[in-house]
Amino acid sequence: MLEIKNLYVKIKNNLIIKGLNLKIKKNEIHVIMGPNGSGKSTLSYIISGKPKYIIDKGKILFNKKLINNLSPYEISKLGIFLSFQYPIEINGITMYIFLKNILKNKYKNKVLFKKIYKVCKKLNINKNNLYRYFNVGFSGGEKKKNEILQMLLLKPKLVILDEIDSGLDIDTLNLIFKNINKYKKKYKCSLIIITHNTNIVKYINPNYVHILYNGKIIKSSNKNIIYNIDKYGYKKIIKNENKKNN
Ligand code: ADP
Ligand code: MG
């Protein structure tokens, strides 16, 4: 479904992603972990077409189509969804108007209301929140739930969750992952889950875990590597991989 080949990405002339390769098939869950500043969020942005992020070299293919130069809107229409590490606030636009706009080609006006209410209920989102400005004054956890609300309504084929789990209370964490797992089961989507949480395997069952370091995936493994990370941190893995390459 997604294939990234030898990708190099620059931000303001700084090389951030340096030769990254990644292949994701339909219905797979890939967890990406790695130290702060490794390029995890940059990777999620570049797949989603964020402006000013320049692809210096390499290819991003989605269902064999080159998406390097597509706009965020075009990429979203292909079925790629990104939940932001830091969801943005939009003053002056209510949640409801925002959702109505992003969903206008997907649902008829008549059913839209019902659909949105139904998903709000699933996520334990207060309906009154729909009439507040988008994310303005919402708590961190509420903002993350608003991201999942958009995901469940847009029905993407590839879901990228950038630290969806940071700062969430245990009940919200359970609720969010219950909904994500249900969605995955029903629609057979693929997931990229960026996280620092070594307890992530309690909530989802990844096919692969990748360690991103210094703009590159230095190791791909099954979920067992997470126990090593929990025990030893990243240092040991980075050292071992460096040794192998020298
Ligand atoms: P991660 O999500 O893995 O913690 P990021 O992808 O956010 O890391 O950042 C990777 C590196 O790119 C960091 O060193 C960060 O400071 C740098 N970076 C991110 N955005 C910009 C920017 N707009 N200008 C310059 N450097 C940036
Ligand atoms: Mg990040």
> What are the pocket residues of ligand 1 if the criterion is a CB atom closer than 6 Å to any ligand atom?
11-12, 14, 16, 34, 36-42
User: Is residue 196 over pLDDT 80?
Assistant: yes
Which ligand is located closest to the Cα atom of residue 214?
A: 1
Distance (Å) of CA 26 to CA 1, 13, 179: 6, 34, 19
The pTM of the whole model exceeds 0.85:
yes
- Tell me which residue has its CA closest to atom 27 in ligand 1: 11
Which ligand is located closest to the Cα atom of residue 36?
A: 1
- Taking Cα atoms as reference points, which of 206, 128, 138 lies closest to residue 172? 138
Ligand 1 atom with the smallest distance to the CA of 34 is 3
- Tell me which residue has its CA closest to atom 15 in ligand 1: 37
Domain ranges of the chain: 2-245
In the reported structure, the alpha carbon of residue 35 is separated from the centroid of ligand 2 by a whole-number distance in angstroms of 9
Q: Are 46 and 17 in contact (CB under 8 A)?
A: yes
| pLDDT, tens digit, 9 for 90 and up, residues 108-159 | 888 998 999 999 999 999 999 999 999 999 999 999 999 999 999 999 999 9
Which ligand is located closest to the Cα atom of residue 16?
A: 1
**How confident is the model over 31-37, as a mean pLDDT?**
97
Structure confidence at residue 108 (pLDDT): 86
Q: Give residues whose Cβ lies within 5 Å of ion ligand 2.
A: 40-41, 85
Nearest-angstrom CA–CA distance, 224 and 114: 42
User: What CATH number does domain 2-245 carry, 3.40.50.300, 3.40.50.1100, 3.40.50.2020, 3.60.20.10?
Assistant: 3.40.50.300
In the reported structure, the alpha carbon of residue 42 is separated from the centroid of ligand 1 by a whole-number distance in angstroms of 6
Ligand 1 atom with the smallest distance to the CA of 44 is 6
Nearest-angstrom CA–CA distance, 55 and 60: 10
